[in-house]
Structure 1
């Protein structure tokens, strides 16, 4: 052992060397000679150094290295050729492990140096977590930690809480929570009178203990502990320990993000204390910002609780945030910068933090409480002499627009009139802020802003584009126009095109590269919005863009060239192929040349190239196919980008993994996981482009289908980037469609994809991905027909759908429980409804998938649908709208696609279907009425009793006092259509038919549901042409009804039926006396007579 210890000591010294080669060689020896061949000696030797070496840094390093080596993942080959994953801690002999664990606790009881103790505690914590994960006992650990809690030395007490913070499960043996035992442990640390560091560490430990206790933790049970935890804050403030105070706030932020309800009993006190911090300019900004972040996290996670318990929150916090937003200096470099990127706002500046806070408060607390407070202050700020106040006010309007949309949209004109004059403010920073505000409002209030206020907004922004002395203002004015034009109607934009185009051409010739870039970007958006109205400007623009693309590939011009590609291709899409054709070849050659020039993976042209090629594909269609060999290789390379991942120890430097370089970090089991997400965005774009080519080129894309599917399928599980997964799923149907004429090639590819999909869907937590998967299944089954699923796959699909339905049902019930929360209020209901609407996308697509199965397989699908019937029965008898609708949609589709087989399910649906015709929910009544009508038409005699029982309810629906109100009219029209179908199907006894026919005639017209309008109008015309007494006795009403159908243009897509209706109206009128004809005509409203004449009917 002595020799091993001596060698390891030498290696430790070498590992600490600044010589990279020596350090790498030492790492190689440690890994190959010790970890792989002699793990027992390696770990025992490091423990010996930790316990016995007099060198303090070496002992500290030994603790760090022991943790790394003991827990480093190791692949162990198995006899069957597979590999299992373990770590050295579980590969060494039991006696060695027990010896190491005992020595770690010995060090905990004896190590005198604080810096070493911290590394030791980290080591013990990570080892403990690894043992817990493997269910390996370490019974001596908890008593040793509790012994430290009671120790006389404060550094020992701090060590105990450091470990408890990392491994809170130590206080919950067998997952049993006993506050009688645990409470005094924390109380001793939180009330520490000797050393504040102990109180901070105890607070951190208490936070992670409460998080570990789980979401069912009741606030009342821990109110005493919460008070003790919060009492640490004033002590730190009083001692002037701002670093400790910031650390305490950071811990509480973590608690608020996970268990916001625990703050309920102490929320007013927290607000009071926080106000004394965030409004105190004498304190460090990091202290104030972390305190504000605690408040905002509570708002984010429990807005209803904040609204209820601290109704003065907006009036207290918003003024402070607005004041923070005004803490801005006029830096000369802002005006003179040659690149806007050089001057991007620092995220930790007061004015940035204040702006972000205003956004979060508005979105979470809502418009009703935010708007009055904000707009009681903003006008004063706009009238202030200090430019910073005016700037802050405009940025505040920009920040709260989304969250306060419902209130501000009602007074949008006032807000526009408040903001637009500041595009002429004396100070350029204020003019810049006005542009920013208008641009954000153009997004938040689209399309109302564009439609109602283009006369105010476009001239104001164009005036900013003339501000030659301030290119930053010019650029921001043009940038705001991008947002505005994304939602503007071409007719509203048309009057400004000439002037706007002239200004953009001028800006594009600016010596400032960033201004040229912005001008080209704005021109692209204007062209996209103007569509073919941009044709007249095309001759002047396209050659200039081609000229930019011919410039040398210098680094400073890369972004400009990229934006030129974007602009040119958007213009090509706007003016269409015939106009673009003359430049198409030159442009394609330019892109091909640039693609060959690009060698730097960080070159911005890479992304622009991908999108430019795809837009050209949409313009040129089949003519683009010859360019696929140029386009596809780099695209497929990008689609296969592997994530750059680094796993860092908490002590490792992360300077090489900064957000500026595209890295994001997350803490996992005490280590930092770093992922370079910027490259993954490129991967996502590449897959989206592949989908574009497949959709637009069809069979022209067929040669690439096998290779592309091999790329797409693994990316369904690419959890590093949700966008990649979504794009991969959306791409599968169009890629398969490109080769659908070769089933023998497509079906094996689809089979592999299906297996992957079937595994991921039941456990999919991402709602958007779940929607994409179900929609993709539907699309492929529609595409491949009966070949899409074999028997085994069909059975698998039903099992998966049952899981999806059950989980959806559980979430519906969870939302119902949320509504019973003590802090529930109308704003929270809005958030719940938003969540439900997102999930409803999935369940609606599930209904469409079931419909597709029935449509494709007919009665052969019934054994599959039967497997879902347990869920359908439950849903049918629920009160939740979406649950009922899914069940009713199954009834409708069974009637539509299985006809007489519907009779088998009368025991499931019959009585309940009739009851639901009286549902208070219009959507349910509409769906049920439609299904009843289809059942009458296709279900056969066995379902006639159901249809007969439904007639009185259908009549009640039509007769209801508000039957034709906007919310009810479609349901009512479906009831009328159901009566028409029932009457046509001879369901009714003879003695009831005449009365029902008369009621049907008087219930016409149907004009809003175009599908049902065809059904009902056809039936009415049949009655007219057969001279049925039900019509003869009601001629004037029949004429009025048919005239209304013609007036509304309901039958415009069915010209034959429309002409038939017109002919029958004229026949009916011709059979009346002239005075009666004139009276009917004159009784029509003037606008209706005018429209009927304009359309050539009369």
Structure 2
């Protein structure tokens, strides 16, 4: 088969797809698709020859592009290319070429792997061969000529040749098992990996560790994994200290995966693994106060960002092992891990806060408080939670019946709260809230001991410590509901004081902490005497406050109303008047979130006091919602609040909501009936994309899917509540729901579930309306539901639709 006549065309395509301009690139890709449809075998072979052997004298960049195009083109169905002319289903070029052509292409690729000396080109060839082996293996046409080449490369004197076998094993871990006539024994595979782990070349060692991870996780049986896995993990860990410090974080990543999925492989070697990982988590000395010792290990001399890249995966491994094997980890050296990790992670928290100015002026000035602080060391806090929670469930206890880690955390907290450095006091409070949130359930004595510790922080001179006090109070009351009643009076006194703090972020957090007392309130009688004072304090905090403080105050007023029900009646008028003022005042774009939250909180108030008290205000709110509904622009964040507001009002007013139905239903039906735009990715994605595209699955626009799903959910609520009051719209809603069941694609599962739920509500309403009077009247709906269930492959969708089927039958018969 000659390919010389194609060189000119392919050369022009390579130049065009590497250009900066989009239009020439799109035209070149379209031309290449048409060209490949006409001559698939010749095009694939020539791309392989250019990429692997440099045929045509092309430079490395063009050869690199040829390998990418070869892999992406060979396995992607092309319109007009058919394996079966009668079925006329789009086929991939690989599927239509003859076996002889496939073998010629694979011979060319193997020759390139054997002979190529350019390091960049070798990596590209390795990726191409790995992808080819993986995709051809799925099609049961394995790349049989590749394994012998890889085995020969392991003995090459060139390190970049020895690198290649591990590159491919990492990508296709079963390559030396599935793509050979006689599978290589597991002992020989382990020996191969060990040779790479101990290779003189750092690059080879790193790639061998990645290959070890893939082999253990994806290619070995449980028996084989038990046979060689733990030994490989230990040998790989032994070489980590010999690697350059700047690449250690990359090499730890494979161990993160193994710890998450195969923790048993680490247990025989804890004595070798844990001290090394704990030492990596020892924070930089330059960022910690000299007055306090956080670590029994030598402090790091690395820059903070570099150190954090290493400490992250090191502590992730420890956390995964603690979660999955808590008893083994707890008993290691009499609880040593639990004792030491607390100080190390609290040290990380202190070091991470060092990036703030001493006066925290940038933190104080930040108004977008909903976004996470990019400088805050969240991983340190999260890892501490994970390990404390995991180990607190283990069987290890000290003489007082507590896990030693809890005692260690309490000792650190007590000492840190006395330090001059505000970061230490912040970390001490973090240790307290972690203890309360994730400690043992029967720690009432400890609670009584802890609360006096944190109280002074409410008047700390540093705003971030006062903020941390509020965080501590909010988390502890959420975790320990008994505290809401027992310490309500003392807590509210402090919280009302902090609502008047001179720092806006502290005031906002004080309002948020108040809401934690009213969320899932178990003993309302203990907080009811304080409701009027709290509402008065919140209303005062709203006045002349920054927008983000006002948003939080509005949220909290809604929480107070939702938690106190009829006891809120005495405060209702003042609060509802505030919400109406907000909603009737023209708002700039940045004030739309406040308007939306005011709608939400107003509905909480309405539910709290009941329909009789709320009805007049409901009319005013309905006028606001109608006006706002008419003003909505594209991507207006108020849209969600408006429809949520109508739904909440419907739940409160029930049959009295009927006058608003003609205003609410038309736009909602329009949203619920929208057609979901789909595209076939196999025809619309660039050949330069590395996305895996298989089959004829249709992609759906995610925003359209979400909006349709939400609209269907709203309709289900309205139908369930209003029942016979929806008669005018019953047929339209039924058609929308039946159509929603037919949505295709994995991304539209929510639409199908919401449609099934809506049909269940419609069957109940149909009975009320007299539309369903005989068992046979439900047959079309039930048949559609059963047919949809039979096509689903997601367990949750199947369960949910079956449940809705059952509800439909109960409501209609």
Q: TM-score range by the shorter chain?
A: 0.7 to 0.9
Q: CA deviation at 1:180?
A: 2.3
Aligned twin of 1:340: 369
Aligned twin of 2:313: 290
Q: Of the candidates 506, 512, 516, which is equivalent to residue 546 of structure 2?
A: 512
Contact conserved, 1:405 with 1:445, CA < 8 A, in 2? no
Aligned twin of 2:392: 366
Q: CA deviation at 1:134?
A: 1.2
Aligned twin of 1:6: 8
Three-state SS of the structure 2 residue aligned to 1:294 is helix
Alpha-carbon distance in structure 2 between the residues aligned to 1:365 and 1:720:
38
Whose RCO is larger (CA < 8 A, sep 6+)? 2
Alpha-carbon distance in structure 1 between the residues aligned to 2:702 and 2:224:
35
Aligned twin of 2:412: 377
Cα offsets for 1:640-659 (capped at 9, x unmatched): 696999999999899xxxxx
Inter-CA distance 630–281: structure 2 relative to 1 (3 Å threshold):
farther
Question: How many residue pairs were aligned?
Answer: 754
Alpha-carbon distance in structure 1 between the residues aligned to 2:527 and 2:745:
42
Contact conserved, 2:785 with 2:801, CA < 8 A, in 1? no
Contact conserved, 1:474 with 1:515, CA < 8 A, in 2? yes
Aligned twin of 1:699: 724
Contact conserved, 2:700 with 2:745, CA < 8 A, in 1? no
Aligned twin of 1:44: 45
Contact conserved, 2:760 with 2:808, CA < 8 A, in 1? yes
Three-state SS of the structure 2 residue aligned to 1:112 is coil
Aligned twin of 2:202: 196
Determine whether 1:783 maps to 2:811. yes
Three-state SS of the structure 2 residue aligned to 1:739 is helix
Map 1:129-208 onto structure 2 (within 5 A). 129-173=134-178, 178-193=185-200, 195-208=201-214
Inter-CA distance 220–44: structure 2 relative to 1 (3 Å threshold):
closer
Cα offsets for 1:488-522 (capped at 9, x unmatched): 24433321222211222122223411011111111
Determine whether 1:99 maps to 2:118. no
Three-state SS of the structure 2 residue aligned to 1:292 is helix
Determine whether 1:623 maps to 2:623. no
Alpha-carbon distance in structure 2 between the residues aligned to 1:221 and 1:177:
14
Aligned twin of 1:352: 378
Aligned twin of 2:346: 322
Map 1:545-556 onto structure 2 (within 5 A). 545-552=579-586, 554-556=588-590
Three-state SS of the structure 1 residue aligned to 2:367 is coil
Determine whether 1:281 maps to 2:281. no
Inter-CA distance 261–684: structure 2 relative to 1 (3 Å threshold):
farther
Greater C-alpha Rg: 1
Q: Of the candidates 482, 487, 490, which is equivalent to residue 456 of structure 1?
A: 490
Determine whether 1:219 maps to 2:226. yes
Contact conserved, 1:420 with 1:457, CA < 8 A, in 2? no
Contact conserved, 1:165 with 1:206, CA < 8 A, in 2? yes
Inter-CA distance 45–550: structure 2 relative to 1 (3 Å threshold):
farther
Aligned twin of 1:439: 474
Inter-CA distance 759–27: structure 2 relative to 1 (3 Å threshold):
closer
Alpha-carbon distance in structure 1 between the residues aligned to 2:562 and 2:517:
12
Q: Of the candidates 411, 423, 426, which is equivalent to residue 446 of structure 2?
A: 411
Aligned twin of 2:597: 563
Cα offsets for 1:451-474 (capped at 9, x unmatched): 22212322222221111x101000
Three-state SS of the structure 2 residue aligned to 1:172 is helix
Aligned twin of 1:474: 507
Q: CA deviation at 1:771?
A: 5.7
Q: Of the candidates 750, 756, 761, which is equivalent to residue 782 of structure 2?
A: 750
Alpha-carbon distance in structure 2 between the residues aligned to 1:679 and 1:304:
48
Contact conserved, 1:485 with 1:525, CA < 8 A, in 2? yes
Contact conserved, 1:398 with 1:440, CA < 8 A, in 2? yes
Aligned twin of 1:232: 239
Map 1:919-938 onto structure 2 (within 5 A). none
Cα offsets for 1:1074-1093 (capped at 9, x unmatched): xxxxxxxxxxxxxxxxxxxx
Inter-CA distance 181–484: structure 2 relative to 1 (3 Å threshold):
same
Three-state SS of the structure 1 residue aligned to 2:66 is helix
Q: Of the candidates 14, 17, 20, which is equivalent to residue 18 of structure 1?
A: 20
Alpha-carbon distance in structure 1 between the residues aligned to 2:90 and 2:446:
62
Alpha-carbon distance in structure 1 between the residues aligned to 2:153 and 2:665:
64
Inter-CA distance 223–531: structure 2 relative to 1 (3 Å threshold):
closer
Alpha-carbon distance in structure 1 between the residues aligned to 2:677 and 2:626:
27
Three-state SS of the structure 2 residue aligned to 1:135 is coil
Alpha-carbon distance in structure 1 between the residues aligned to 2:687 and 2:455:
52
Aligned twin of 2:293: none
Alpha-carbon distance in structure 2 between the residues aligned to 1:543 and 1:637:
33
Contact conserved, 2:216 with 2:225, CA < 8 A, in 1? no
Aligned twin of 1:28: 30
Contact conserved, 1:223 with 1:265, CA < 8 A, in 2? yes
Aligned twin of 2:325: 302
Alpha-carbon distance in structure 2 between the residues aligned to 1:304 and 1:649:
50
Aligned twin of 1:999: none
Range moving further from structure 2, 255-264 or 557-566? 255-264
Inter-CA distance 631–308: structure 2 relative to 1 (3 Å threshold):
farther
Contact conserved, 2:186 with 2:224, CA < 8 A, in 1? no
Contact conserved, 2:459 with 2:466, CA < 8 A, in 1? yes
Contact conserved, 2:133 with 2:172, CA < 8 A, in 1? yes
Cα offsets for 1:557-602 (capped at 9, x unmatched): 121111111111111211222222222222112212222322232x
Determine whether 1:484 maps to 2:513. no
Q: CA deviation at 1:683?
A: 5.7
Aligned twin of 1:713: 741
Q: Of the candidates 739, 764, 771, which is equivalent to residue 737 of structure 1?
A: 764
Contact conserved, 1:435 with 1:477, CA < 8 A, in 2? yes
Q: CA deviation at 1:621?
A: 1.1
Contact conserved, 2:159 with 2:204, CA < 8 A, in 1? yes
Q: CA deviation at 1:62?
A: 1.3
Map 1:764-783 onto structure 2 (within 5 A). 765-766=795-796, 772-773=800-801, 775-783=803-811
Inter-CA distance 177–574: structure 2 relative to 1 (3 Å threshold):
farther
Contact conserved, 1:321 with 1:354, CA < 8 A, in 2? yes
Inter-CA distance 534–361: structure 2 relative to 1 (3 Å threshold):
same
Alpha-carbon distance in structure 2 between the residues aligned to 1:185 and 1:649:
39
Cα offsets for 1:902-922 (capped at 9, x unmatched): xxxxxxxxxxxxxxxxxxxxx
Contact conserved, 1:643 with 1:677, CA < 8 A, in 2? no
Contact conserved, 1:635 with 1:686, CA < 8 A, in 2? yes
Three-state SS of the structure 1 residue aligned to 2:419 is coil
Unaligned runs of 5+ in 2: 283-298, 394-401
Determine whether 1:530 maps to 2:564. yes
Aligned twin of 2:644: 611
Inter-CA distance 520–107: structure 2 relative to 1 (3 Å threshold):
same
Q: CA deviation at 1:533?
A: 2.4
Cα offsets for 1:716-771 (capped at 9, x unmatched): x87559877775665553343222343355331122112333554xx6555xx676
Q: Of the candidates 210, 213, 233, which is equivalent to residue 216 of structure 2?
A: 210
